């Protein structure tokens, strides 16, 4: 991803050229863990296999005519030592694998979250929240499971195959015949098994994202669902998605049920026993060596059995990794321009022949006005056409127009939520694309009709964007926004926790908290997008007085249909179907602009 709006201070770089390379680069960040896991797996299986060999030796000892208790005790103590070593190395293997899995999960989640913060509004507007949450939680956790127990058991199984075969060769190389044929057939079966399982694993992860997105959307819009009596429709839609998800699980189960290696192992085990007895009968092996051989052959049972689960976990992990990497690698339209202009803004804003359309790729999310305006932009229809004007520092500019005329979209070009298609937007004579994005946006504050509050305290919501604000400053901003009285009416005052999106507050209360937040950030450019629509007239008059007081010190853009607010604007821009058709004061426009008159039904 070459363009992004945010970069963490200490960012770890990973190879994103492919899913396999990306997963490998995460693994190699902690080389001590995979190396420790591999070494522990080798030793663990060596100790286990040595136990099987010693059991055969013990049988040879007790079948000898002159055996002694001391010889048997030595074999028993050695076997106990191998068993203890097996237990300790098993702990080391599990420790290394689990630490690696947890570290990779943490790093992946951090990388994905940083990537999402760096994406543009256009990217987020076309995503389904539930699908993003599925990738950030379930898909990331599937990577954890891919490492532990997935890759850990595959590593252990590989060593549990190689080490016993090495010791079998030490007994008699001819004993490798049956296990060698079995392993060739097992490899062929595993290739076919993974080939059939891979598309099902990918489809399963995709369907989970679809199901989760639909569920999140229904819960978020539960008020609309209930108001329109659509509970049954939403239920049927969710059941359909859940059944599709279930069907993929059933298909996976069918593939696993047809997994033949376990049957093949039973036949190979019997053939190995017959082969061993024939060599014993020919005098090439002792009976104890036959027993050791069967113990080592039985060690292949675990790799055969566990492969049905481990390769499925790896397939699911790779499918999840592909979904995560796809989102990380999705190019965003804007760049943070870290080397751009970073200085205090005076507040002059100039539009020079600006045209803009969404090109059918996005809607301007964020509030009702923006969404309605964006609705006109489907298929690349221009939202703004040849807009030119200049707002001087400290000037208040009201923007009016019918629904869908592009009012909100116009203001979103100032702080680079979107970039123009043609023309230029200048702040203090500098193209906004030449500004450092953080510096530009930190000096522009927007208050929208659809206010978003976090599930935090009221004080934290007001101070959001002003990390160094003191409690005194928070209360002062709340008083200016006429929010102090209702906040202190709560039992915990400013420490009152608000629900998700501020659902425990009324619409007017949420807007006043947002206005207090804007007052506290002390922006050089203030954008008010129908920000007092849910506030009663008396409170609105008090807020307007506070706004007029702070507006004299900054450039203000005001989107509203309330004449009480429009009247005190220094200039009014009239938009119609994306074009600037007139501008002037309230009295001037009433006298000469039919479009302005139609908005307020004031023409005679």
pLDDT value for 533: 62
Split at pLDDT 50, 70, 90, the class of 543 is low
87: alpha, beta or left? (left if phi > 0; alpha if psi -120 to 50): alpha
User: pLDDT exceeding 70 applies to what percent of the chain?
Assistant: 92
- pLDDT tens string 491-532: 999 999 987 777 788 878 888 898 898 888 888 999 988 766
- pLDDT tens string 142-166: 999 999 999 999 999 999 999 999 9
If one compares 602 and 554, the residue with the highest pLDDT of the two is 554
Domain boundary among 329, 364, 386: 329
**Residue 132 sits in the same domain as residue 254:** yes
Split at pLDDT 50, 70, 90, the class of 216 is confident
* CATH code of 402's domain: 3.40.50.300
Name the burial class of residue 126, with classes exposed (0-12), middle (13-18) and buried (19+) by CB atoms within 10 angstroms of its CB.
exposed
Confidence check: pLDDT of 177 > 80: yes
* CATH code of 83's domain: 1.20.1560.10
Residue 498 lies in a domain: no
Distance CA 435, CA 344 (A): 11
DSSP 515-552: HHHHHHH--SEEEEESTTTTS-HHHHHHHHHHHHHHHT
**Residue 162 sits in the same domain as residue 119:** yes
- pLDDT tens string 13-28: 999 999 999 999 999 9
**Residue 92 sits in the same domain as residue 231:** yes
pLDDT value for 535: 65
**Residue 124 sits in the same domain as residue 212:** yes
**Residue 322 sits in the same domain as residue 354:** no
Confidence check: pLDDT of 365 > 60: no
Structure tokens given for 366: 């964020």
Residue 183 lies in a domain: yes
Residue 538 lies in a domain: no
pLDDT value for 415: 93
**Residue 212 sits in the same domain as residue 351:** no
pLDDT value for 378: 41
pLDDT value for 285: 94
Task: Say which range, 115-129, 345-359, 424-438, 484-498, has the weakest mean pLDDT.
Answer: 115-129
3-class secondary-structure state, position 563: helix
Confidence check: pLDDT of 360 > 60: no
For the stretch 424-440, what's the b/e string if a residue is b when 16 or more beta carbons lie within 10 angstroms of its beta carbon?
bbbbbebebbebbbbbb
Of 534, 548, 376, 529, residue with least CA distance to 445: 529
Query: Which residues, in sequence order, are CB contacts of 461 under 8 Å at separation 6+?
Result: 453, 454, 498, 502, 513, 517
- pLDDT tens string 37-90: 999 999 999 999 999 999 999 999 998 888 899 999 999 999 999 999 999 999
**Residue 50 sits in the same domain as residue 175:** yes
Task: Say which range, 117-126, 273-282, 375-384, 420-429, has the weakest mean pLDDT.
Answer: 375-384
Query: Which residues, in sequence order, are CB contacts of 282 under 8 Å at separation 6+?
Result: none
**Residue 272 sits in the same domain as residue 407:** no
Split at pLDDT 50, 70, 90, the class of 198 is confident
**Residue 188 sits in the same domain as residue 254:** yes
pLDDT value for 532: 66
Confidence check: pLDDT of 473 > 80: yes
**Residue 361 sits in the same domain as residue 281:** no
Mean pLDDT in residue range 238-245? 94
Residue 602 contacts residue 590 (beta carbons within 8 Å): yes
Split at pLDDT 50, 70, 90, the class of 462 is very high
Query: Which residues, in sequence order, are CB contacts of 475 under 8 Å at separation 6+?
Result: 484, 494
Split at pLDDT 50, 70, 90, the class of 597 is confident
Residue 598 lies in a domain: yes
Mean pLDDT in residue range 461-474? 90
Residue 351 lies in a domain: yes
Confidence check: pLDDT of 127 > 90: no
Residue 130 lies in a domain: yes
Domain boundary among 303, 329, 355: 329
If one compares 34 and 372, the residue with the highest pLDDT of the two is 34
- pLDDT tens string 426-448: 999 999 999 999 999 999 988 88
- pLDDT tens string 380-405: 678 999 999 999 998 999 999 988 89
- pLDDT tens string 330-349: 888 788 888 999 999 999 99
Mean pLDDT in residue range 584-600? 86
- Beta-carbon neighbour count of residue 155 at 10 Å? 20
Distance CA 316, CA 8 (A): 29
Distance CA 511, CA 134 (A): 31
Task: Determine the distance from the C-alpha atom of residue 549 to the mean position of all C-alpha atoms in its chain, rounded to a whole number.
Answer: 42
Confidence check: pLDDT of 350 > 80: yes
Q: Considering the entire predicted model, what is its pTM?
A: 0.79
pLDDT value for 98: 97
Of 283, 259, 276, residue with least CA distance to 178: 276
pLDDT value for 540: 67
**Residue 281 sits in the same domain as residue 373:** no
pLDDT value for 243: 95
Give me the number of domains the chain comprises: 2
Which domain, by its residues, includes 363?
Answer: 347-443+563-604
**Residue 220 sits in the same domain as residue 367:** no
pLDDT value for 368: 34
CA distances for 460 relative to 354, 479, 499, 546, angstroms:
37, 16, 13, 22
Of 371, 573, 553, residue with least CA distance to 445: 553
Residue 549 lies in a domain: no
Residue 380 lies in a domain: yes
């Amino acid at each position: 991803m070459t363009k992004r709006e945010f970069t963490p201070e200490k960012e770890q770089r990973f190879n994103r050229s492919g899913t396999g390379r990306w997963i490998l680069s995460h693994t190699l960040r902690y080389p001590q863990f995979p190396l420790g896991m591999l070494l522990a797996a080798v030793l663990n299986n060596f100790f286990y296999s040595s136990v099987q060999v010693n059991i055969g030796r013990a049988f040879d000892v007790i079948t000898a005519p002159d055996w002694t208790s001391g010889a048997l005790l030595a074999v028993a103590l050695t076997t106990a030592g191998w068993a203890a070593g097996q237990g300790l190395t098993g702990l080391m293997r599990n420790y290394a694998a689990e630490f690696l899995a947890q570290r990779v999960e943490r790093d992946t989640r951090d990388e994905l979250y940083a990537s999402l913060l760096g994406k543009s509004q256009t990217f987020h507007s076309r995503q389904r929240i539930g699908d993003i949450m599925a990738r950030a939680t379930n898909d990331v956790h599937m990577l954890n499971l891919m490492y532990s127990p997935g890759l850990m058991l595959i590593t252990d199984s590989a060593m549990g195959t190689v080490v016993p075969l090495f010791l079998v060769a030490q007994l008699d190389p001819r004993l490798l015949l049956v296990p060698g044929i079995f392993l060739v057939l097992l490899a062929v079966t595993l290739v076919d098994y993974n080939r059939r399982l891979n598309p099902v694993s990918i489809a399963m992860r995709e369907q989970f994202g679809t199901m989760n997105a639909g569920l999140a959307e229904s819960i978020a819009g539960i008020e609309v669902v209930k108001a329109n009596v659509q509970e049954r429709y939403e239920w049927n839609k969710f059941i359909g998605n859940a059944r599709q998800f279930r069907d993929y699980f059933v298909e996976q189960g069918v593939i696993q049920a047809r997994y033949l290696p376990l049957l093949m192992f039973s036949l190979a085990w019997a053939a190995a026993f017959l082969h061993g007895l024939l060599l014993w009968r020919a005098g090439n092996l002792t009976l104890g060596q036959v027993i050791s051989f069967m113990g080592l052959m039985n060690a292949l049972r675990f790799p055969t059995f566990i492969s049905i689960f481990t390769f499925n976990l790896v397939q699911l992990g790779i499918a999840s990794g592909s979904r995560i990497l796809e989102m990380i690698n999705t190019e965003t339209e804007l760049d943070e321009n870290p080397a751009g202009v970073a200085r205090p803004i005076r507040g002059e804003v100039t539009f020079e022949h600006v045209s803009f359309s969404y090109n059918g790729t996005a809607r301007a999310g964020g509030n009702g006005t923006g969404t309605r305006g964006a609705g006109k932009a489907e298929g690349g229809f221009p939202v703004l056409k040849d807009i030119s004007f200049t707002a001087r520092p400290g000037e208040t500019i009201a923007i009016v127009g019918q629904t869908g005329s592009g009012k909100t979209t116009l203001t979103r070009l100032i702080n680079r939520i979107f970039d123009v298609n043609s023309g230029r937007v200048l702040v203090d004579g500098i193209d906004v694309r030449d500004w450092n994005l953080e510096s530009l946006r930190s000096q522009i504050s927007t208050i929208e009709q659809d206010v978003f509050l976090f599930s935090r305290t009221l004080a934290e919501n007001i101070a959001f964007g002003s990390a160094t604000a003191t409690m005194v400053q928070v209360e002062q901003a709340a008083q200016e926004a006429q929010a102090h009285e209702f906040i202190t009416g709560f039992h915990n005052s400013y420490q009152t926790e608000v629900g998700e999106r501020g659902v425990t507050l009324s619409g007017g209360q949420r807007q006043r908290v947002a206005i207090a937040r804007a007052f506290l950030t002390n922006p050089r450019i203030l954008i008010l997008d129908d920000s007092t629509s849910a506030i009663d007239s008396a409170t609105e008059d008090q807020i307007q007085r506070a706004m007029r007081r702070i507006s004299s010190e900054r450039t203000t853009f005001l989107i509203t249909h309330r004449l009480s607010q429009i009247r005190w604007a220094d200039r009014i821009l009239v938009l119609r179907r994306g074009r600037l058709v007139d501008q002037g004061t309230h009295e001037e426009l009433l006298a000469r602009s039919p479009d302005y008159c139609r908005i307020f039904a004031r023409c005679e």
